[in-house]
Every structure is written in structure tokens, then in C-alpha cells.
Amino acid sequence: MNNFMYANPTEIIFGQGMIEKLKDVVPKAARVLMIYGGGSILRNGVYDQVKAALSEHTVIEFAGIEPNPHYETCLQAVTCIREQKIDFLLAVGGGSVLDATKFIAAAASYTGDDPWQILLDGGSSITQALPFGAVMTLPATGSEMNDGGVITRAATQEKLSFTSPHTFPAFSVLDPLTTYTLPTRQLANGLVDAFIHVMEQYLTDQHQALVQDYMAEAVVKVLIETSEAIIHQAPEYNSRANFMWAATWALNGWIGVGVPNDWATHAIGHELTALYGLDHAQTLAIVLPGVMVMEKAHKARKIMQLGRNVFGIDAIDDDALITQTIAAVEAWFHSVGMKTRLSDYQLDATAIDAICARFAERGWQLGEHRSIDAKRVREILTLRL
Ligand code: NZQ
Ligand code: ZN
């Protein structure tokens, strides 16, 4: 196991009816900017619950954060913060609203000339941020308990991420009842995104970090075990609660400390979203099986561990175990209704050209061994046509 330092300051407020706790955890004297998306919270009662909880607070609203939140929209919120003298932010919605709020919190306090620099340097130029909390309504990203965000610049179709110790939520309310109105597409997105967050931290070299390994396997087992109920049955509290908590654990940092991290699937997937508009999880389900095949030289032992411990596969030899495990992962994606090929989204080899040109231009080396360059990205995506 590698050395690590880890702290997570986010208070989790979990369970049905817990939105009312906002009245205690949002500072009484604050001027609060409530940030939300395209209106799902107006239709499912979450907006009313938040407003009731904050009836004695000063609350100003900023609506219209897009899925894959736009930099341009975030800058409008920063202007609003300055005009309205806001000193606390409350994100209410999915990962996009939360990520936007993190970026807005940092950009509002940014002392440099151009806040896009925050994305160019991955968050290292963030030295302070407005305090913020969240009501998370979509189990998927783990954004409710981590310090990361992903922002899209619509004008240039760039999608870049940042992390900073200053952009952890102070608290996040997770009420599984809020997930009852999620469409099946978003539920599938959430299951697959959380699954692949675990893979990015687990499916690397054999690293003998048993706590991280077994916790990672537990999280994906919960996702697989609940997925039938989540996708194919009417909403039920315990399966939603377990799904929600598993998605948080998939990316709250715990399973990724002291071990090599990959994140190549995410980096490639972000380009598919930026250029072609696929949902985040849709891109990951296309890319991951390709990464598993192309990188199996050094991922082999962990792929086999995944096959045995999570999918219960017992094969005649190592090659068969690896092949069957990759097939089991793809089959599970299909079982939740997730497509796994570029051609499923009418994308062909010209789409790969555009993505590889970006990686070549940036000179990025991806993966836990920094071995995935633009040429390798082409090989991975060509497998996924
Ligand atoms: O905008 P509204 O009207 O709220 O509707 C949203 C949106 O259309 C809707 N929705 C959310 N909660 C709902 C609901 N509809 C009905 N009932 C509810 N309870 O769902 C749609 C998608 O929402 P969005 O927030 O975009 O989805 P998700 O949570 O999957 O977030 C995706 C974004 O997170 C980034 C992705 O790149 C993408 O930009 N990620 C953030 C990460 C992080 N911060 O750590 C890690 C991830 O890997 C990911 O990259
Ligand atoms: Zn993700």
C-alpha cells in the first residue's frame, strides 16, 4: 500500500425527511444562493421542502444549471453572487448542479484574471471558496462527498475537471425518496457511473491494499445487487437507500487512497460528451471494456479478482477468467439498459479521429502507468466501434 494523507470534512445527512435539517446546518445569518437545474426539483417537491426548511433564512435563487454544466452559466451565477452579496451556496439537484456550485464557489473567490485557469490547472490555483452545502437528488457522481467537479465550456466544447481541498461540500443531504422521480435513463447512468468510479480506483495493479480492495468490491456488489430493483421495479426505499449510499462511497475518496488510480476511461469519456453530447455514463460504458482489453497486461490480476470476488466466475484458466469477466461487466451494463458501442450512438471512425487529435494536441498520458497516449486511445476506441 502506498503512503497517503486523507481527510473528508463533508457532513452527511442521510435518510427520508432529512431535508428539513437544512434549517440547522445552513448558517442562520447567511445570504444563501440556492442553485438548481432545469426544474426537476420544482416537479418532485424537493424545491418546496428546501424552501420550507429555509423559511427563516434569506434565500436568493439561481436556476438553469445544465447537465454537464456550462462555464458560461457558472459565470452568470458569480455575477449574481457579487450583486446580491451572497455568502453561502446551496446546491439542490444532481451532480451537474453540485459540480457547478463547487466551481461557482471557487470562481466567486478567485483572485486571478480568468477563472477558466481553474480548469486549466485542475484546481491547483484555488486558494479559497465560498462555503456551500448540497441536497443531492441523483446517486451517481459522488460529488456530494468529494472535492471534484467537471465543467464544460460550451463555446469551445471543452470539458475539464478540477479538485481542491477548498471545494468539499460542508454538508450533503441524501434523501433516497428524492430519487423516486428519476427517469430510468438517469438511474442507469447513476449505476454505471458509480460502478466505473470503483473500477478507476480498483482495476489497476495488484497493490495488496486489502481494506480498499474489499470495500471497493462491496460497493460494486451493492450496485449489482440493487440494480434489478432500481431499473425494473417500482421505487422501493431500501434499494434506493443502498444505491444512494453506494454511489457516495464509490467516489468519496476512501477506496482510492494508498492505491494507484487510473481515470483513463473518464478522460476519454469526457471527450465523447464534449464533442458528441453523450451522457457521462454512456461514454464510460463504451470506453471501459476497451480499456480492460487493451490494458490487461498489467490489470490482469485485478480483472481476475473482480471476476472471482464480484461476479463469482470460476473459469478453466486465467485467459478465460479475464475474457469472461470483461464480458460479465458489459453484460451487466446491458442488463440496466446501457449501450456499450460507439455505433449504438451513430458514431464511427471519424469521431475517434477528433478525440485522438485532442489527446495528441494536449500530450496527455493517461492511466495508472501514464502509458495511454493518443495512439493508444485510438486503439481502445477502435475496439468499441
Ligand atoms: O436539471 P434538472 O431539471 O434538475 O434535471 C436533471 C438532469 O436533467 C435530472 N434530475 C436530477 N435529479 C432528478 C432528476 N430528474 C428527476 N428526479 C430527480 N431526483 O437528471 C438529469 C441529469 O442530471 P445531472 O446532474 O447532469 O447528472 P449526474 O448526476 O449524472 O451528473 C453528471 C455530471 O457530473 C460529472 C459528469 O461529468 C457530468 O458533468 N461528474 C462529476 C464527478 C464529480 N464531481 O466527482 C465525477 C463523475 O465522474 C462525473 O464526471
Ligand atoms: Zn464518472
93 close to ligand 1 (CB < 6 Angstrom): yes
Cα separation of 223 and 245, whole Å?
10
In a domain, 2, yes or no: no
Same domain? 333 vs 360: yes
Are the CB atoms for 254 and 216 separated by under 8 Å?
no
Average pLDDT over residues 245-265: 97
Enter the C-alpha cell of residue 327: 464480458
When the pLDDT of each residue in the chain is averaged and rounded to a whole number, the result is: 97
Over 90: is that where the pLDDT of 207 sits? no
Same domain? 41 vs 107: yes
pTM, whole model, 2 decimals? Answer: 0.98
Over 90: is that where the pLDDT of 278 sits? yes
Single residue among 160, 178, 196 that ends a domain in this structure:
178
Cα separation of 113 and 236, whole Å?
49
Same domain? 47 vs 102: yes
Where do we find the cell 428546501?
A: 50
- Ligand 1: residue whose CA is nearest its atom 22: 67
- Ligand 1: residue whose CA is nearest its atom 38: 68
| Centre of ligand 1 from the C-alpha of residue 161, in Å | 15
Single residue among 178, 193, 217 that ends a domain in this structure:
178
Share of the chain above pLDDT 70, in %: 100
What are all long-range contacts of 43-50, with beta carbons under 8 Å and residues at least 24 apart?
43/181, 44/137, 44/178, 44/180, 44/181, 46/19, 46/92, 46/135, 46/137, 46/178, 47/92, 49/19, 49/20, 50/19, 50/22, 50/90, 50/92, 50/135
Tell me which of 8, 40, 195, 282 to substitute to probe ligand 1's pocket, judged by most ligand atoms within 8 Å of the beta carbon. 40
- pLDDT digits 0-9 by tens, 214-249: 999 999 999 999 999 999 999 999 999 999 999 999
Same domain? 98 vs 167: yes
248 close to ligand 1 (CB < 6 Angstrom): no
Q: Look at residue 36 in the predicted model and tell me its pLDDT.
A: 98
Same domain? 315 vs 352: yes
Single residue among 111, 146, 178 that ends a domain in this structure:
178
Q: Any idea which ligand is nearest the CA of 194? A: 2
Cα separation of 225 and 151, whole Å?
32
Same domain? 143 vs 89: yes
Same domain? 255 vs 370: yes
- pLDDT digits 0-9 by tens, 112-158: 999 999 999 999 999 999 999 999 999 999 999 999 999 999 999 99
In a domain, 345, yes or no: yes
- Domain interval for residue 68: 11-178
| Centre of ligand 1 from the C-alpha of residue 247, in Å | 13
Cα separation of 59 and 80, whole Å?
13
Are the CB atoms for 174 and 136 separated by under 8 Å?
yes
Same domain? 23 vs 161: yes
Ligand 1 atom at minimal distance to the Cα of residue 270: 37
How do 132-136 and 148-153 pair as beta strands?
unpaired
- Ligand 1: residue whose CA is nearest its atom 36: 280
Q: Any idea which ligand is nearest the CA of 162? A: 1
280 close to ligand 1 (CB < 6 Angstrom): yes
142 close to ligand 1 (CB < 6 Angstrom): yes
- Give the CATH number, domain containing residue 57: 3.40.50.1970
In a domain, 332, yes or no: yes
| Centre of ligand 1 from the C-alpha of residue 164, in Å | 20
Residue (of 39, 58, 48, 43) closest to 19 by Cα position: 48
| Centre of ligand 2 from the C-alpha of residue 54, in Å | 31
Over 90: is that where the pLDDT of 252 sits? yes
In a domain, 314, yes or no: yes
In the chain, how many domains are there? 2
176 close to ligand 1 (CB < 6 Angstrom): no
Q: Any idea which ligand is nearest the CA of 140? A: 1
Ligand 1 atom at minimal distance to the Cα of residue 39: 3
In a domain, 353, yes or no: yes
Same domain? 226 vs 291: yes
Q: Any idea which ligand is nearest the CA of 100? A: 1
- pLDDT digits 0-9 by tens, 3-58: 999 999 999 999 999 999 999 999 999 999 999 999 999 999 999 999 999 999 99
**Residue 199's pLDDT band (cuts 50, 70, 90):** very high
Average pLDDT over residues 278-299: 97
Collapsing DSSP states into helix, strand and coil, what is residue 240? helix
